[in-house]
Amino acid sequence: MENLFVYKFKTKKGLYVYDVNSNNFLLVNEKVFQDIDTPNWNRNPDILEGVKKGIVSSLRPQIVRPSVNYEEMKEYLDKKIQRLILFVADSCNLKCKYCCYSEVYSDSRLLSGKLMSWDIAKKAIDFYFSHTGESINKKEEKVISFYGGEPLLNFELIKKCLEYVKSVYKTKANEVDFAITTNLTLLNNEIMQFLTDNNIFIAISIDGPKELHDRYRVFKDGKGTFDIVMRNIKKLYEHNKEYFRKNVVFNVVTAPPIDFIKIYEFFSSNPILSENWYGVIGGLTYTGGPCFEEIFHIDRREGFETEEKIFEIFKENVIKYGYCNNNFLLKFYYEDFWNIYNRNMKRLPQEIVERSSCIPGQMRLLVDPDGKFYPCEKGASSLQIGDIIHGFDYEKCYSLIEEYCKIRNELCLNCYAIRFCKTCYIGALKGGKLDKKTKEEECKMIKVHYSNMLRRFIEIFIEIMEENPKAFEYSRKVLIPEKYFLL
């Protein structure tokens, strides 16, 4: 008989089994815990009773299939592009040591030094508006982003792009948000006024306190950038506090050796960085690609133990108050815990629809200074999916979808994290192709992550119920129904 499709873990207060089919957690005794993931499970009467009642199962999905067929994909790309990312500056005034557009990542594009021309930008904007329809809901918000390198190196083009959209696409301009990702070192009074006058969303790159930020995020002469970035953040804040609160987020890159405590304390103690709900952490990225250890001679996981310490702070907050009001910690943990708490309790289907990766180019179409199309801004120069002259290469787009599904069928059907994992084909990229072994390496880290999150979720929930029962008084569902306990 096939082994049960389960994952088991211990907390300080009990032994638990996560059943993938029911998507539920089971509190079990020691004998059940010992046998349930072994071939001897069918000799344990408690487990047999659980299987009979449908509490646990050996059923596994049989196939992962694409979320769309070829014609449906074409329709999305022809009519429903959500975000246009203009790579207006294939150049940067910094030389960050971990840059995703550097040798640290083997499949990354390298910055060419080019600035996007008005001709390419205009064609890209026209292409975007001819390939997007009416917004149906919030998930389909339209955005035009300016990216690099450092996009403010091409500030005059950015101004011209906004003028063009507002003059030519008047009826659609109100549906579109504009955004810039920047290191903020080039901020001046003209740029600052332009940002606020046009209500532009801005993502500022800052990695934590000076000692951490300046370790990798440096000018080309090796000088750290922290002082000028913080000075410009304060300048932008004082220029228009309401704009700052509503429109500014911070992108944090954590690189080994990591110190999560220092990053947490930095964002939590600075009133400018921590006072508003939205404007704290827009993105929290861990870097350290396969080449990282070879180049920097630092263990990619050095310092990861500090994350356990900030989790304890998060847990104390939630247990005491029933929630956490620290924005940095919320960004760190909220999404994972919310996905576990709000998980779909329906039985695992035999056929899994691939939804962790996008339709290439539909959600985040990147156009570079040469007019080439890429699925997103994540740096892979080998994944060109068309160009501004010929449009999308539909065959290339769909081959990515099919190839990724093929890899997922080989790796994911027996994985306990299949309901939660959201990795995309970028994580499987090697040498310009999707590679199974590369994906397997990523999977190892994903499994470590979710093993921690599942255990921690139970630890927090059980302790909340013991120490503050009213905290979950209005829960949408009981997370561990009594009838599911295998005692």
Domain ranges within the chain, ordered by starting residue? 71-311
Q: Give the pLDDT of residue 288.
A: 56
Considering only residues 138 and 178, tell me which one the structure prediction assigns the higher pLDDT.
178
Q: Give the pLDDT of residue 108.
A: 67
What is the average per-residue pLDDT within 409-423? Answer: 93
pLDDT digits (tens, 9 = 90+) for 240-264: 999 998 899 888 888 888 899 999 9
Name the band, by pLDDT with cuts 50, 70 and 90, for residue 459: confident
Q: 112 and 91 in contact (C-beta within 8 Å)?
A: yes
Q: Give the pLDDT of residue 379.
A: 59
Q: Give the pLDDT of residue 282.
A: 56
Considering only residues 57 and 317, tell me which one the structure prediction assigns the higher pLDDT.
57
Name the band, by pLDDT with cuts 50, 70 and 90, for residue 301: confident
What is the average per-residue pLDDT within 289-303? Answer: 74
Q: Which fold has domain 71-311?
A: TIM Barrel (3.20.20)
Q: Give the pLDDT of residue 275.
A: 63
Name the band, by pLDDT with cuts 50, 70 and 90, for residue 346: confident
Name the band, by pLDDT with cuts 50, 70 and 90, for residue 377: confident
Name the band, by pLDDT with cuts 50, 70 and 90, for residue 289: low
Considering only residues 258 and 365, tell me which one the structure prediction assigns the higher pLDDT.
365
Does residue 281 register a pLDDT over 90? no
Q: Give the pLDDT of residue 253.
A: 87
Q: Give the pLDDT of residue 134.
A: 61
Does residue 403 register a pLDDT over 50? yes
Does residue 144 register a pLDDT over 90? yes
Which of 58, 113, 63 lies closest to 87 in space, CA to CA? 113
CA 367 remoteness from chain centre: 21
